[in-house]
């Protein structure tokens, strides 16, 4: 490991900045373009977690960012390594998740000349990140990392990309020799011009790199919500008879403040629906938290607080909030606060800070909690009725396993430190109604992009971020296919996940509506594949469940295996269900 100062290569400079920013993990799929970053990072005590698909590396970095509020880090090689990250980058951008992605690139002097894996990467990546850093000198590497970390977490959080050409990462003597060999020793005018050009190019690349680098960690100040808007929101709630709050992922952009935000929500006394990363904010059970009939509740409310939630498809584009209701929209993004529905009270700033300010001891809404009790009781009664209906649906028996009964059993068996990762369509949609996250930041789902394939990467990142947690992946059998190969990574890195595969032999969320509307199941039929055998082939434990009576023993065995340090996949044959009839989103 080179020491700071003379002789420090580009990979060392990146690693020093990562170390200064407290990075504990770099997720990667190796490649010669980025090897110096990986070696230098490991030499400085940063854990390198290598996976089998570049998408998994970015999903894992995304998960650590969501759970900690600190930008996650991934590194991938040039060309196809980078193109494989476009989906997870866009997923992170739409989820407003801060991460820093390092991408390799061809040597600076050979870009655009047909070098290995050389493409113009900026047009592909730039639309999906807050900034695309194209590094041209070794001395720029450290400052770019410092700037990227600040930028990823500031304002509206999101991913940042740093392109690192291979000739800026290896040691200077090697690169100078490489360029000297490329220039050759010919005496013709063209040969001498080439040597002059390449020599000048190398001097520019290494200019200033002999100076001792110093990492600069910039504090990220969350955008403050305007005091006048907070007063307006208080006044609106003071007039309300039927207030309702919907809290989304952006509320926990400052993940370290989760407990204080939860306390503020309880102090306000407003009935609340939780979505995305906010699931579990109030714990497993709380009297103010509602889980069912959100659309109907929005229609009935006379004052709606959207905390970190835009009026997109998840809220029916705002159509179900009555026009006579007062709409309070708190969001870091002015665009998202006004998306599809102009609020009466837009509060542009950090949503967690807004809720904490709103719930201060002298806040008006808390004085009106007693007046809201009939409304809260009405919503709670409706929730209880729906829970009773779910219980009835769980009792229906069939040839294999009722998915609702399965999820009810997972809810009972999973431990207090369970961290739930959701990856799928119909089965995961059912899980969102049945499973109750145990605490704040104990639920991970794709977010607004609806991306399948997040499960393995999210679980990997979650386990690295919270090694004490009991990590469960709730897989649909369709989604399972994306990340099944990562059981190799779980085994190699000793990540003891518990994967539950709801195997109904189909892309059921699509099939249900497609067959009804088009009379054709084309493209939606899968097989009762032996996913458990594939996991076992990678060295994990695989368990097959075909009948409900086999399920309790299988789940308890899975937990015991995970506690012993072994990853496990439970492949459960499901019966068809109408639980989510009419669930297709547009």
Q: Provide mean pLDDT across the span 171-200.
A: 86
**Residues 101-157: pLDDT tens digits?**
999 998 887 777 877 787 889 999 999 999 999 999 999 999 999 999 999 999 999
Distance (Å, rounded) from C-alpha 273 to C-alpha 290? 5
Tokens of 303: 């004052």
Tokens of 582: 């009419």
Ramachandran angles phi, psi of 500, nearest 5°: -110, 115
389: in domain: no
**Residues 264-273: pLDDT tens digits?**
999 999 999 9
Q: Tell me which residue has tokens 């400079």.
A: 13
Tokens of 88: 């997870």
Q: Which of 325, 346, 377 is the last residue of a domain?
A: 377
Tokens of 450: 């609806």
Within this chain, do residues 186 and 290 fall inside the same structural domain, yes or no?
no
| Sheet with 243-247: strands ordered across | 289-290, 272-274, 243-247, 303-307, 326-331, 345-348
173-179: long-range contacts (C-beta < 8 A, 24 or more apart)? Answer: 175/202, 175/205, 175/206, 176/202, 179/109
pLDDT score, position 8: 85
**Of 520 and 369, more confident:** 520
537: in domain: yes
Ramachandran angles phi, psi of 48, nearest 5°: -95, 120
pLDDT score, position 2: 43
pLDDT score, position 6: 54
* Contact (CB, 8 A) for 437 and 454: no
91: in domain: yes
**Of 585 and 89, more confident:** 89
| Residues contacting 1, CB < 8 A, separation 6+ | 12, 40, 43, 44
Within this chain, do residues 361 and 422 fall inside the same structural domain, yes or no?
no
Within this chain, do residues 404 and 525 fall inside the same structural domain, yes or no?
yes
Q: How far is CA 5 from CA 1, 172, 321, 426, 516, in A?
A: 12, 13, 60, 56, 68
Q: Provide mean pLDDT across the span 517-544.
A: 96
Distance (Å, rounded) from C-alpha 419 to C-alpha 426? 20
Domain with 282, as residue range(s), is: 227-377
Within this chain, do residues 428 and 475 fall inside the same structural domain, yes or no?
yes
Ramachandran angles phi, psi of 10, nearest 5°: -60, -40
Q: Provide mean pLDDT across the span 400-409.
A: 95
Q: State if pTM tops 0.85.
A: yes
* CA 188 centroid distance within chain: 57
pLDDT score, position 307: 98
Number of Cβ within 10 Å of residue 244's Cβ equals: 26
* Mean confidence (pLDDT) of the chain: 93
DSSP string, 367-400: GGTTTTHHHHHHHHHHHHHHHHHHHHHHT---SS
CA gyration radius, the chain: 26
Distance (Å, rounded) from C-alpha 422 to C-alpha 277? 11
* CA 319 centroid distance within chain: 28
Within this chain, do residues 408 and 342 fall inside the same structural domain, yes or no?
no
Within this chain, do residues 295 and 345 fall inside the same structural domain, yes or no?
yes
Ramachandran angles phi, psi of 239, nearest 5°: -85, -15
Distance (Å, rounded) from C-alpha 244 to C-alpha 229? 18
Distance (Å, rounded) from C-alpha 424 to C-alpha 452? 6
Across 64-68, 184-188, 494-498, least confident range:
184-188
3: in domain: no
Within this chain, do residues 423 and 526 fall inside the same structural domain, yes or no?
yes
CA angle 339, 342, 347 (to 5 degrees): 90
| CA torsion through residues 152, 157, 159, 161, sign | negative
| Residues contacting 440, CB < 8 A, separation 6+ | 252, 258, 259, 261, 262, 280, 281
Q: How confident is the model at residue 582 (pLDDT cuts 50, 70, 90)?
A: low
Q: Provide mean pLDDT across the span 1-10.
A: 62
Rank 211-225, 356-370, 494-508 by mean pLDDT and report only the highest. Answer: 494-508
Residue 21 sits in a domain whose CATH number is 3.40.50.970
DSSP string, 182-250: HH----SHHHHHHHHHHHHHHHHHHTTTTSPP----PPPPPPPPPHHHHHHHHHHHHH-SSEEEEE-GG
* Contact (CB, 8 A) for 108 and 20: no
pLDDT score, position 180: 87
DSSP-assigned beta bridge partners for residue 100: 73, 160
Q: Provide mean pLDDT across the span 278-283.
A: 96
- Quick one: which H or E segment has residue 352? helix 351-358
586: in domain: no
Provide the angle, in degrees to the nearest 10, between the axes of the packed helices 426-434 and 508-518: 120
* Contact (CB, 8 A) for 577 and 397: no
- The SS3 assignment for 104 reads strand
Above 50 in pLDDT, residue 489? yes
Above 70 in pLDDT, residue 580? no
Within this chain, do residues 27 and 175 fall inside the same structural domain, yes or no?
yes
583: in domain: no
**Residues 538-572: pLDDT tens digits?**
999 999 999 999 999 999 999 999 999 999 999 99
Q: How confident is the model at residue 579 (pLDDT cuts 50, 70, 90)?
A: low
219: in domain: no
Using alpha carbons, select from 583, 320, 562 the residue that is nearest to residue 433. Answer: 583
**Residues 18-68: pLDDT tens digits?**
999 999 999 999 998 999 999 999 999 999 999 999 999 999 999 999 999
Residues in the chain: 586
Distance (Å, rounded) from C-alpha 54 to C-alpha 60? 10
Within this chain, do residues 346 and 444 fall inside the same structural domain, yes or no?
no
**Residues 209-238: pLDDT tens digits?**
888 888 899 999 999 999 999 999 999 999
Give percent of the chain with pLDDT exceeding 70: 96
321: in domain: yes
Give percent of the chain with pLDDT exceeding 90: 81
Q: Provide mean pLDDT across the span 282-296.
A: 94
pLDDT score, position 584: 56
Within this chain, do residues 360 and 476 fall inside the same structural domain, yes or no?
no
Helix residue ranges, H only, 302-372:
334-338, 351-358
Q: Which of 346, 377, 408 is the last residue of a domain?
A: 377
Q: How confident is the model at residue 586 (pLDDT cuts 50, 70, 90)?
A: low
Distance (Å, rounded) from C-alpha 112 to C-alpha 97? 32
pLDDT score, position 3: 46
Within this chain, do residues 238 and 129 fall inside the same structural domain, yes or no?
no
| Sheet with 72-76: strands ordered across | 47-50, 25-28, 72-76, 99-105, 159-165, 132-134
Above 60 in pLDDT, residue 366? no
Distance (Å, rounded) from C-alpha 76 to C-alpha 550? 42
pLDDT score, position 401: 96
Q: How confident is the model at residue 512 (pLDDT cuts 50, 70, 90)?
A: confident
Helix residue ranges, H only, 30-187:
35-43, 54-68, 80-83, 86-94, 122-125, 141-153, 172-183
Using alpha carbons, select from 141, 36, 29 the residue that is nearest to residue 74. Answer: 29
pLDDT score, position 583: 54
* Contact (CB, 8 A) for 532 and 505: no
Within this chain, do residues 424 and 509 fall inside the same structural domain, yes or no?
yes
Provide the angle, in degrees to the nearest 10, between the axes of the packed helices 189-206 and 172-183: 160
**Residues 292-328: pLDDT tens digits?**
999 999 999 999 999 999 999 999 999 989 999 999 9
Q: How confident is the model at residue 427 (pLDDT cuts 50, 70, 90)?
A: confident
Q: Provide mean pLDDT across the span 400-425.
A: 95
Query: Number of folded domains in the chain?
Result: 3
- Produce one character per residue of 525-544: b if its CB has 16 or more CB atoms within 10 Å, e if not: ebeebebbebbbebebbbbb
Using alpha carbons, select from 60, 83, 62 the residue that is nearest to residue 71. Answer: 62
């Amino acid at each position: 490991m080179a020491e700071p100062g003379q002789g420090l290569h580009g990979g060392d400079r990146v690693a020093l900045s990562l170390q200064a920013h407290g990075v504990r993990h770099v997720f990667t799929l190796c490649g010669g373009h980025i090897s110096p970053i990986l070696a230098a990072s490991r030499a400085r005590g940063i854990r390198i977690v290598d996976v089998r698909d570049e998408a998994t590396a970015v999903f894992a970095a995304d998960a650590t960012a969501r759970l900690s509020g600190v930008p996650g880090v991934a590194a991938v090689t040039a060309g196809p390594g980078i193109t494989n990250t476009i989906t997870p980058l866009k997923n992170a951008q739409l989820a407003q998740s801060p991460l820093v992605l390092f991408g390799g690139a061809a040597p600076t002097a050979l870009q655009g000349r047909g070098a290995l894996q050389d493409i113009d990467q900026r047009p592909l990546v730039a639309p999906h990140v807050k900034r695309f850093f194209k590094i041209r000198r070794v001395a720029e590497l450290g400052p770019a990392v410092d700037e990227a970390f600040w930028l990823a977490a500031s304002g509206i959080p999101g991913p940042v990309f740093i392109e690192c050409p291979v000739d800026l990462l290896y040691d200077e003597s090697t690169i100078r020799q490489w360029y000297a060999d490329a220039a050759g020793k010919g005496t013709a005018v063209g040969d001498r011009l080439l040597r002059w050009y390449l020599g000048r190019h190398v001097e520019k690349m290494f200019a200033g790199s002999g100076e001792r680098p110093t990492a600069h960690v910039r504090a990220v100040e969350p955008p403050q919500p305007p005091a006048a808007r907070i007063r307006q929101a208080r006044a609106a709630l003071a007039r309300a008879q039927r207030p309702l709050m919907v809290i989304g992922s952006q509320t926990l952009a400052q993940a370290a403040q989760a407990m204080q935000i939860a306390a503020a929500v309880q102090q306000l006394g407003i009935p609340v629906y939780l979505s995305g990363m906010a699931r579990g904010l109030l714990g497993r059970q709380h009297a103010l938290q509602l889980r069912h009939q959100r659309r109907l509740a929005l229609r009935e409310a006379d004052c709606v607080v959207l905390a970190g939630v835009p009026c997109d498809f998840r809220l029916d584009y705002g159509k179900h909030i009555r026009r006579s209701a007062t709409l309070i929209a708190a969001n870091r993004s002015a665009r998202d606060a006004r998306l599809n529905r102009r609020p009466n009270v837009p509060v542009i700033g950090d949503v967690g800070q807004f809720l904490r300010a709103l719930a201060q001891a002298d806040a008006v809404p808390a004085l009106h909690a007693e007046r809201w009790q009939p409304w809260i009781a009405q919503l709670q009664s409706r929730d209880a009725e729906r829970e009773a209906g779910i219980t009835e649906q769980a009792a229906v028996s069939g040839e294999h396993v009722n998915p609702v009964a399965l999820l009810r059993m997972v809810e009972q068996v999973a431990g207090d430190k369970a961290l739930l990762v959701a990856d799928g369509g119909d089965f995961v949609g059912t899980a969102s109604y049945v499973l109750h996250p145990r605490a704040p930041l104990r639920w991970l789902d794709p977010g607004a992009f609806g991306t399948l394939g997040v499960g393995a990467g999210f679980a990997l990142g979650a386990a690295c971020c919270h090694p004490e947690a009991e990590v469960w992946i709730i897989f649909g059998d369709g989604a399972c296919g994306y990340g099944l190969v990562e059981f190799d990574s779980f085994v190699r890195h000793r990540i003891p996940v518990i994967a539950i595969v709801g195997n109904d032999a189909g892309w059921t969320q699509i099939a249900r509506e497609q067959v009804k509307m088009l009379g054709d199941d084309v493209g939606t039929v899968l097989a009762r594949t032996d996913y458990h055998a594939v996991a076992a082939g990678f060295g994990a434990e695989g368990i097959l469940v075909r009948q409900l009576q086999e399920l309790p023993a299988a789940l308890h065995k899975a937990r015991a295996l995970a506690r012993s340090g072994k990853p496990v996949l439970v492949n459960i044959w499901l019966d068809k269900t109408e639980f989510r009839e009419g669930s297709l989103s547009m």
